[in-house]
Amino acid sequence: MGGMQVLQWMVSYPDRICSAIPIATALKSSPQQIAFNEVGRQAIMADPNWEMGKYYGHSSPAKGLAVARMIGHITYMSDISMTEKFGRRFKANNEPLKFSPEFEVEGYLRYRGDNFVKRFDANSYLYITKAIDYFDLLNGKTTKIGDVFKGLKAKVLAIAFKSDWLYPIYQSLEIARACKLAGVEATYCELNSTYGHDAFLLEVEEETRLFRDFLKTVYNGNEASS
């Protein structure tokens, strides 16, 4: 959603944006992205404590929200990163064939899910994911991708990660292409990270270097003021 907000600001306020760095995002949600979000929403709504969203003051749909988070977290990682982090290692206290978390990856997902419900609201999850699904920068504006950023004077740096299968690189390339067709100065950078979508949080050193070099071009070598 953060990247989508950047793209929306580029369209809504073309005269107020001098630089933009959309990272691992898309001009519109794909069917696969919508599908993953829908499975998460169904997990929440299937929890008997959801009560059609009227659970405040009562037990919250914690189990459903935890499962939604587990589903989401799988999409944030990659096959390589999960293999490197967990492999097929068993937990030390596993109970074979008891349907308890035997593998380390199972325990990790349950830990992530259980902690998420302590700081997030289930209804908020429903509405935020639905907003992401609805996002389409082409809606009601034009069918020509080259007109999306027409009038934008900003410099743009689009960043993608090779192992990101939730927001694959073709979507960032589409952003860069739309900028180029609109006459906007844009650079596309693809990082060879193995962290999947989570790379935008983890590849801090490489991203910092890219941001610094990019902003120097924006301000013609002068330091940007805070």
What ranges do the domains of the chain cover?
2-28+138-218, 33-133
Token reading at 224: 């940007």
Quick one: residue 53, left, alpha or beta (phi over 0 = left, psi -120 to 50 = alpha)? left
pTM for the predicted model, two decimal places: 0.89
Distance CA 20, CA 92 (A): 47
* 84 pLDDT more than 50: yes
Angle at 80 between CA 78 and CA 81, to 5 degrees: 65
Mean pLDDT of the chain: 93
Cβ neighbours for 47, distance < 8 A, ≥ 6 positions apart? 61, 62, 63, 64, 65, 122
* 97 pLDDT more than 70: no
> Which CATH architecture best describes the domain 2-28+138-218?
3-Layer(aba) Sandwich (3.40)
> Which CATH architecture best describes the domain 33-133?
Orthogonal Bundle (1.10)
How large is the average pLDDT for residues 18-40?
Answer: 97
| pLDDT band at residue 226 under the 50/70/90 scheme | very low
